[in-house]
Amino acid sequence: MTTITLENITKRYDNGFEAVKNLSLRLESGTFTVLLGPSGCGKTTTLRMIAGLETISSGDLFFGEERMNDAPPKDRDIGMVFQNYALYPHLTVFENIAFPLRLRREAKASLEERVRAAAEAVELTALLGNKPKQLSGGQRQRVALARAIVRKPRVFLFDEPLSNLDAQLRVQMRSEITRIQRMVGATSVYVTHDQSEAMTMADTIVVLNNGELQQTGTPHHIYTNPQNRFVASFVGSPAINFFEGEIRGEAGRLSFYEFGSSTTFSLPAQAFVNPPANFPRKATLAIRPEHLGFTPFLGASLSPEALQYTLSGTIQRVEFLGHERLVYVETSPQAPHKIIRCTNIAQILEVGGDIQFFASPDHCYLFDSNGARL
């Protein structure tokens, strides 16, 4: 176990492209950190710099107090698991797991013991004699995991290790990986662009975009306190609803007017974390689908002030997901549709029907035109 510290790390590839820009992070010893962001945002590059597979253009990498920039990969004490498990097809499961120990010329008795312990941890004991082609995708992934843990490394690095598995197995392997990580205690960095993986597995989520750090925090913090428009839009499924418009100051009150519709909200002070000074100003108001609700279901619990958050529109589409329905509502042809998450099975929802719905004012976020939280 070790803390991992990145200080102002930049990666400039040979063609001059900056894939990671001035990234600073501190990953506490034994924790599970997920790097989350869209394709091309620099996740793999960051992971490869930690592993020593990619040089660091500027900045410093520390494991504990030790500067690691120039340490060769084999001296970093890292176990890695990739998307394409990279198993040796001609070797048995036993030999695949044993491979890192053979490289280190581990004595036979302890090698045997450690391979068996690793296989047991991932529930592969019965398959130690099989070749990779005799295994399912999930079993192969487990071999890769066992091979990563067999040396008891102080750091685990995972690069989208579940993306080749089917949906059910992916969900099962999430909890397998976190269980094994807790057991081994290695400081872990896990790369994914799948937000549900990030939300379910992470102690800390690091959101990246265009090589730049957007926000770090617990899954709960990232979801409930997005620091900017990008984080609000990237985290949450279905995606958060955006109202594009402007904030106006009138008669001592602040109000939000959506462009292209008649939607108007009065803005209570608690809607702001960084209240701006000048009005009118263009802004985006964001509300998650679970914070829009139909009358009178949610409206019943709202204060008179909150009732100003009434909207009306036409149902365009209803998606049935079993435990809930997602309702797409058009409030105006000029404004983007809004998605409402409806868990009330009694609510009648017909495409083409006109409805009224409410926003919950305690759960709206405002963003400036540059994307910063207001």
By CB under 6 A, name the binding residues for ligand ATP: 13, 15, 17, 19, 37, 39-45, 193
Q: Which is nearer to ligand ATP, 39 or 270 (CB)?
A: 39
To 5 degrees, how large is the angle CA 154–CA 158–CA 164?
Answer: 150
Strand 18-27 and strand 4-12: the pairing is antiparallel
Closest to 360 measured CA to CA, from 224, 200, 220: 224
User: Residue 39 binds what, of ligand ATP, Mg ion, none (CB under 5 to 8 Å, by partner type)?
Assistant: ligand ATP
- Other beta carbons within 10 angstroms of residue 152's beta carbon come to 13
User: Residue 143 binds what, of Mg ion, ligand ATP, none (CB under 5 to 8 Å, by partner type)?
Assistant: none
Q: How far is the CB of 200 from Mg ion (least distance, A)?
A: 20
User: Residue 373 binds what, of ligand ATP, Mg ion, none (CB under 5 to 8 Å, by partner type)?
Assistant: none
**CA–CA dist 286, 240 (Å, integer):** 6
To 5 degrees, how large is the angle CA 204–CA 43–CA 121?
Answer: 60
Q: Which is nearer to Mg ion, 37 or 289 (CB)?
A: 37
Strand 204-209 and strand 32-36: the pairing is parallel
Q: Which is nearer to ligand ATP, 44 or 331 (CB)?
A: 44
- Binding segment toward Mg ion, per CB under 5 A, in 36-44, 252-260, 330-338, 362-370: 36-44
**CA–CA dist 158, 148 (Å, integer):** 10
User: Residue 42 binds what, of ligand ATP, Mg ion, none (CB under 5 to 8 Å, by partner type)?
Assistant: ligand ATP
By the 8 A CB rule, do 81 and 143 touch?
A: no
Q: How far is the CB of 61 from ligand ATP (least distance, A)?
A: 16
- Other beta carbons within 10 angstroms of residue 65's beta carbon come to 8
User: Residue 45 binds what, of ligand ATP, Mg ion, none (CB under 5 to 8 Å, by partner type)?
Assistant: ligand ATP
Q: How far is the CB of 297 from Mg ion (least distance, A)?
A: 42
Out of 31, 33, 44, 331, the only residue in the binding site for Mg ion (CB under 5 A) is 44
In the complex, which residues of this chain contact Mg ion (CB under 5 A)?
44
